[in-house]
Amino acid sequence: MQRLGVLTSGGDASGMNSCIRAVVRKAIYHGIEVIGIKRGYSGFIEADMGPMNLGSVADIIHRGGTILHTARSKRFMTPEGRALAMENVDRFGIQGLIVIGGDGSFTGASVFHQEHGIPVIGVPGTIDNDIAGTDYTIGFDTAVNNVVDAINKIRDTATSHERTFVIEVMGRNSGNIALSAGLAGGAESILIPEIAFNLEDICSKLLSGIKRGKLHSIILVAEGAASGIEVGKQIKELTGFDTKVTILGHLQRGGIPSAFDRILAARLGAKAVELLMEGETNKMVGVRSGEVVATSLDEVIGKPSSISQDMYQLAKVLSI
């Protein structure tokens, strides 16, 4: 392995820069050149790429987002688009590819490998923590901390005005952000797509809390479970409570990456380089029980991770 390419694809996640930094510095340490591909697969097709050196990744470990930028590319979903990308592989002498992203990004990498034979290694970078084969994805911890910070601030207002607040969080079809942030933030109820819920039961719980002197309540809703606006509307109709809704949106994604995400990203990025050096391909690096592991992309793609039932039950018990 003399030259590898690295790109970030899909949604941005805090910690991606730490991963890029690890890839570049680990590769250069072993005498391998690195080509940074900008704007994901879109830049791959359009040859928006160039060499990276130690200075390219200086002072980025603390920055959110990705210095390589990211985008989604419909052209790469076509054989013609992937053929154009392969022309740039040959043009730039790329002998291996590291893709930092989520399930869709890994699907593109796997298909590209199957069609053109270039070795590919995936690194899970998504705030949703919905990738099989790893306990954590880059960006998840930072996103959870962003949500908890918002809960803390909203709780001040909820207490002052004695109101019920519904907070909608991201996660697509996964409830991992809502569950972790809800447990850490002391939410009274957590609505996630993996577990059915009954709004009448939630309202009964709210009413019981009021009877025993509770001044406010926080209801956390994963976007894949329901609309925060609709939940707030129904709670107000069923209880008569002054209910406010906050949709956190994209502020969950950005910001200074947590120490956990920086360390995770560094470990996974370095391991990705090692796998390419060892001749491995079509693998994803992840962390399980604290150890960095490699899993076949075939075992990862289309197989989302599951939530912790124990954590969900604990959150219910502690929110009584």
Catalytic residues: 128
**Does 267 carry a binding-site annotation?**
no
Q: Is 73 annotated as a binding residue?
A: yes
Query: According to the annotation, is 311 in a ligand binding site?
Result: no
Query: Does residue 245 have a known ligand-binding role?
Result: no
163 in a labelled binding site: yes
Please check if 251 is assigned to a binding site.
yes
Q: Is 212 annotated as a binding residue?
A: yes
* Residue 252 is assigned to a ligand binding site: yes
- DSSP output for the chain: --EEEEEE-SS--TTHHHHHHHHHHHHHHTT-EEEEETTHHHHHHHT-EEEE-GGGGTT-TT--S-TT-----SGGGSHHHHHHHHHHHHHHT---EEEEE-HHHHHHHHHHHHHH---EEEEEB-TT---TT-S--BTHHHHHHHHHHHHHHHHHHHHHHT-EEEEEE--TT--HHHHHHHHHHT-SEEE-TTS---HHHHHHHHHHHHHTT---EEEEEETTT--HHHHHHHHHHHH---EEEEE-GGGGT-SSPPHHHHHHHHHHHHHHHHHHHTT--SEEEEEETTEEEEEEGGGTTT-PPPP-HHHHHHHHHHT-
Query: Is 25 marked as a binding-site residue?
Result: yes
- The reply to whether 214 sits in an annotated binding site is yes
Is 30 annotated to bind a ligand? Reply is no
- Known binder of ligand: residue 172? yes
Positions at the binding site for ADP: 21-25, 155, 186-188, 212, 214-216
Binding residues for ATP: 11, 72-73, 102-105
Q: Which residues are annotated as a binding site?
A: 11, 21-25, 72-73, 102-105, 126-128, 155, 163, 170-172, 186-188, 212, 214-216, 223, 244, 250-253
Known binding-site residues for Mg(2+) equal 103
Q: Write out the binding residues for substrate.
A: 126-128, 163, 170-172, 223, 244, 250-253
